[in-house]
Structures are given as C-alpha cells and as structure tokens.
A and B are shown apart, each in its own frame.
Chain A
Amino acid sequence: MNLDAGITGIIMGGVLSLPVLGIAVIYGMTGITNFAVGTIGVFCTFMTWHFLSQGALLGILVGLAASFGIGYVIQWFLLTPISEKGGDSTLFFIVTMCLGMVFTGFTRVLFPRPDISLLLPRMGTVSIMGVTTSGLKIFAFFFALSALGLIRLSERHTSVGKSWRATSQNLKLAKIVGINTARVFALASATGCMLAFVGAVFWAALYNVNLMSGWNLTFLGFIIAVVGGIGNIWGGMLSALVMGMVMSYSGHILGGMWQSVVLYCIVILVLIIAPRGILGSERSL
C-alpha cells in the first residue's frame, strides 16, 4: 500500500465531504435533491477568486455571503413555493438542473476564464508517518470533520437545531407549533450552498476549478451521498472518505483514465448490495 496515495485519498475525501454534507443537509431537511448546489458553489468560488487580490479573507467572506444568500433566495422564492404547490421530484430535478445551468452561464459571463486556481496561504508543511503534505490540506480535512461535528451537535443541543429536526420529521406539526418552516428550509438551503462553496474553494486551492467543476461536484456529491445513505450525514462522510481512497488508489495504480471506471463500478456494486446506502438513508428517495 502506498501511504502517499492514501493520504491524498483521505484529504480528497475530506474536501469532497463538504458538498456531500451540503447536499445531505438540503435533502434531509427539504426532501429536495438540488442539482444546482455544485454550480452555485463554483460560481461563488469564482467570486472569491475575483476579490482575492484585495485579500484572501475578503475574498472568502464575499464567497460565503454570496453562497448563503443565493441558497436562501432560491429556496425562499422558488423551491418552497413549488413544493407548497405539490411539486414532485421530477419537477425539482428539472428546476434545479435549470438553476445549475443559469449559474454556469453567470460564471461564464462574469468571469470569462477557462479555469482558476486559488492561491491561498499554504500554511506550511506537515509530516505524517514520513509523508509530507501541505498544512492547507490538513486544514481542509479537519475543517470538513468539524463542520460535520458542529452541525450534529447544534442539531442535538440548540433550540434552533430542535426546530430543524422537528421540521424534517413532521413538517405539518412543525407548522402547527409555530415554527417558521419556510425560514428553516431557506436556512438549510443556504447552509448547504455554503458548504458546497467551501468544498469548491478547497478544491480550487488544492487543484483547480473550471466551468464544469460545479457539475462534477454536484454529481460526485450526489453519488457519494447516495452511497452513504442520502440524508445520513455520517454515512456521507464515511462514503466520501472511502470514495476519496478509491479514486486516489485507482488513479495511482491503474492511471487517471481508470479512476472513473473503478469509482462508478464500485458505486453500482454498493447500491446493488445496499440500495439504501452503506449506513442507510434517513429519508427515502
């Protein structure tokens, strides 16, 4: 076993787990499979890149605010009204795909560049078991872990978290007891888009992103989420790490071209054996 590829895989998985987490939060709360999440994340990453010359912090803050705002607005004005009118999953598929196209288009219009790579501070180097890697990568990994832990903790122990869980478990009763469910939905969507943005930022800092990256992020995110059990946050994390390893090792051993073949065959296999994902879905598709 090659340790280098292992560490690359874990970090890739960690970074990927952010959009997966975003998708899981949105789906777990609203029941909507939002295929625009990745392109929104990448659109905001281009915004960060645009403002980067004026400082990394400003760039990231702009991206965070934009992804939060976009997530909030599309849920509040578009997706929640559609679901109140009884929209089904096919309709949401089409609507969110269109949204994804809109943001791909925005990216192309506003930032006419084929691809970008974010120059973030490298944060020195860290040595693990003889393998040297950049501090930024380690930071990305632990950031993903703590984002997940934070979401789980606040779900359990804060009153906002309680109203989130209540809304996802029984929407009708949540409305009855006086929870502003439209706002909960919008906040969940905003959080999800923000997580996808952070994932995309790390991706852009470690590798690079282009116009199509948003779609890759979305599809990979969905596939990983489904393999982990969609809506199940721990399952998503575990599955992201496993997939990161699979991609890294298959790339390392068989070469980059085989990566997707191996990855998607494993996905199909897992889903034949466990159709509800490795840790089970908290909400059926």
Chain B
Amino acid sequence: MLKVSGLTVNYGATSALKNVDFYAYQGEIVGLAGPNGAGKTTLLETIAGFLKPREGEIHLLDRRIDGLSVLQRRMMGMVLVPQEGNVFPDMTVRENLDVGAILSHKDIRERLIDETYQLFPILHKRATQFAVTLSGGEQRMLALGIGLVSNASILLIDEPSTGLAPKMVTRLFETLDAIKESTGKTIVLSEQNIGVTEIADRVFGIEAGEIRFCENTENLDSEAVRDLYLGK
C-alpha cells in the first residue's frame, strides 16, 4: 500500500534521513519508534508531501507520489496528523471537525463527526469552545478527530500520545486498534511510548535518520526497542 524506498532528505547541508526504506500494508498499524531527533517527523512530513526528498521514491497504491502536491496526496486518501500546530485555533471544536471533513458530502460528514464524538465524548461536550482554549490533551484529541473525520484510508499520526494521561494513552491505542479493525484503515504511527508495540503489526526503529530495525511485533525483541528509546 505505502512503500518508501531509498529515501534521503536534507535540511540544508545536514541530512535528516539517510536511505530509508519503509512500508505498510493495507489495514495494518505500523509503528515508527525512535528517540528525539531521530527523523520520525521528517519521514512522515515527507510522505505527506511537505518536504522534498533528495533521493528515493514513495509509492502509494502502486502509484509514485513523491512528485505530487499535498492536496493530490490527500485526494488519494492520505492524511497526516502533525505533531504540532494540528488544530485551527480560532475555530470551535465543531468547526474544526467540519473543516476536517470538508471533502465529504454533508450526510457523510455528519456521520463521521458523530462517530468521532462517540470516540471522544469530551469533544462533543466542548463542541462550541474555541480550539485555542482547549487543554493540551483535549487539543490532541481534536487533532486526532480532524484526522479521523477526513475519512482517509491511510492515516499518518505523529506522536499522538504526547501530553496525554497514561490512562488516555491506553484508551487512544485501543481506539486506534478498534478503528483499524472496523474500517480497515492503514495507520502509521510515530511513537515514543512503548505501548505502541501492543497494537502495531510491525515496528520500525529509526535513529539518527537511519532505519535500525524492522520487526513484526510477535518476534520483536523488547530489549532492542527499550535501548532505542533510551537512545543507548
């Protein structure tokens, strides 16, 4: 479904990604694990179309997409939930979700928003509140909500658990798992929370811009993951 090969991305003279290979099959949850500054955000933003790779190719549904615009990739069903700046601050929660579902027909939009409200009842309660006045955790949920109402078939989510209470993190992972099971969406998730190994089908370890390992979670050596999180 999604296939990244030989990807190299530079910021000016320094390279943030070096010859990265990465893939996700339809209906999978794929984790992207790595310490701060490893290149997780860089990889997701490049896949979404905000950064131009220096070398390498990105394929989505057997089509080469690294030359396409963000909008064209969106039309192919790909949506990114960024790590930061992921809500419209001076719009209400409801308006944020409306805009998130802007490509869908009105009836479908209502349904998608209802479903999101069921997943995050707090958003329903705060529907008329401006996003900028939400707590950090609530904003995260809204950001995720915007991603979910988009009706995308592949979701790229950049560190969704940051700033959430441990209990919420567990719930969030369960929710993502349930979404995958019920909708068959593909979810790529960058995470520093070890809990990601519970729901992911496969985990890629990234460090200093290079992929260090790629393992199905059944045979994942949790020592290796821990080492990576602690940055050794």
Contact = CB atoms under 8 A, between A and B. Distances in A.
Interface string B83-99: 00111111100010011
Contact of A173 (B71, B82, B95): B82
Interface residues of A, number: 17
B87 A180 contact: no
A163 B95 CA distance: 10
Contact of A175 (B71, B95, B100): B71
A176 B85 contact: no
A168 to B, nearest CB: 9
A173 B50 CA distance: 11
Nearest to B96: A166
A108 interface: no
Given A162-B98, A163-B102, A177 B85 contact: no
B99 A176 contact: no
Interface residues of B, number: 24
Given A162-B95, A166-B91, A179 B86 contact: no
A176 B91 contact: no
A115 to B, nearest CB: 44
B99 A166 contact: yes
Contacts of B88: 165-166, 169-170, 173-174
B85 A179 contact: no
A176 B74 contact: yes
Given A159-B102, A162-B95, A163-B102, A177 B87 contact: no
Interface string B28-57: 000000000000000000001010000000
B82 A179 contact: no
A177 B90 contact: no
A137 B52 CA distance: 54
Query: Nearest 10 A-B pairs (CB), nearest first?
Result: A178-B74, A175-B70, A178-B103, A166-B99, A169-B88, A166-B88, A170-B88, A177-B100, A176-B80, A169-B90
